[in-house]
Structure 1
Amino acid sequence: MRLLAALILCLLTTLPATAAEQVDPTPRIAVMSAFPPELVALEAATSAQKHYAVGGFTFTTGTLEGKPIVLFLSGVSMVNAAMTTQMALDRFNITRIVFSGIAGGVDESLDIGDVLVADQWTQSLETAFARETDKGFELSPTVRNDDLANYGMMYPRAILLPRADGPPETRRWFPADPAMLALAREVASSAKLARCVADRCLVHAPKIVVGGNGVSAPVFLDNAAYRKYLSATFQARVADMESAAVAHVAYVNGTPFIAFRSLSDLAGGGAGANEMHTFMGLASDNSASVVKAFVKALP
């Protein structure tokens, strides 16, 4: 009965919004995750919740660690993440964007459960697929190539950002906000991370690492060879399916951005089967724990 009452209350307080209409003027931090397991701990810690339905997505305003936030799911993959980020920016007064979620580890010095906060993000599958000839792969002369090493027929390309006041901007990397990165380094010294989930414990105590490169693509990565390519070519430390898209939208809108990603698996680098389903809950909680400490520390 209590569950039914809560569901009815949620439906009654979920307010529809028309396109591009700002539904809440309060300055808020956007706190987002890709899919429900990543958001559970953050949602549970958010008080004074109010729900808004926009384009089939639910945005929840409230207070997290004393700060006004809007909490929402990006949806898995790049297009979903870009779309929902822009939705939030159009309809709420967003001061910062904080992403919390799981990822695959690329850097061999990182272990499952670790939380990585990258300096910058790129879209690793922004590529040209080259023609295969008797002489090998050949790129069309009209294709831009930023001289990063290819992976077979796939040649990485930078992104062209249209500019109203001049020629397009060529950009490979989208940065995290320097001030928020500095705060993340402070938080890293005191935030607590879980080592065990159910009857499984990690061999190494998880750690928080701030710095390095992150890559994103609409691909669930579980391939050792491609993992090595990402490490060698992009100096990537972590791979996911959303962060670079969010960083891209944040950059275009001039909104400070940072992503916290806890490793649920090694993206194909483990000795056995992919570890995501075993450690997804632990990784989600570790990322959320760091994000809560980070939000609390924000000015």
Structure 2
Amino acid sequence: MKTSLDCIPCFLRQALDVARLSTADASIHERILRDVLQWAGGINLDQPPPLLAQRIHRRLRELTGMEDPYRAAKNRHNAMALKMLPRLRAEIASASDPLIMAVRLSIAGNIIDMGVNGGFTETDLRRSLDEALTEPFSGDTDGFHRSVAQAANILYLADNAGEIAFDRLLIEQLPAENVTVAVRGAPVINDATMADALALGLQEIAEVIDNGSDAPGTVLADCSREFNRHFDEADLILAKGQGNFETLSDENRNIYFLLKAKCPVIASHIGLPMGTHILKRVRSSG
């Protein structure tokens, strides 16, 4: 998926967010934003947004001297999500279709995205979870059931910290022995890394690997050899979030994308209204 002109203001907002996380000095905020504005003039719009975001956040880490500017926020989101799990497990257990209930709660958790909404709050998350069954939903749930039942090797591509708690609820409904979970290889925005996966206990229910990359998506050419082996061997890939959709939607693989359409660029590309909860399959022709 190519980068839209509408992505540029989002990159600039992310830069200002990082600047404000790193210091209260307005002069440094201005210097960082000017640096990013100069860089933005030469970007290649034929590349997917997460590849450009990877480069801009590398530059932001250089300018601020902070390896993981969102670490404190990620810790808060992990703790916030963990305390909600007992109630949500009970909802899944009592649902007529536990697997799809877990899917919908997992997608509701995709609201935890500081790349799109730097002002996200616990109230926003609770509202999203409470409305998981009433929000517009698009997807073939029967086909998803069949795909999960037939899969011998499932690769689950995680998205954000905090959100992975709700991914855990879904992974608990999958055949655990068949599942590998992949997180980012290094910090970028509030995307989940191995530290977040361990904090949420994902290693207790599935194999967990990192993809070797610091892109806020899955740029296969930038990922490790181990990750690409898992990707190639998987007969079903579950990809969470907009960044994974932006980087993998053109791949000729059996992928289900699970996301909330949180920006007009994604909504327009998929052809669904903003806010829709999406379970979208890309079928391999192989």
Does the pair score TM above 0.5? no
- Give the number of the structure whose residues are more often strand, by fraction: 1
What TM-score do the two structures reach when normalised by structure 1? 0.25
What TM-score do the two structures reach when normalised by structure 2? 0.26
- Report which structure shows greater RCO (CA 8 Å, sep ≥6): 1
- Give the number of the structure whose residues are more often helix, by fraction: 2
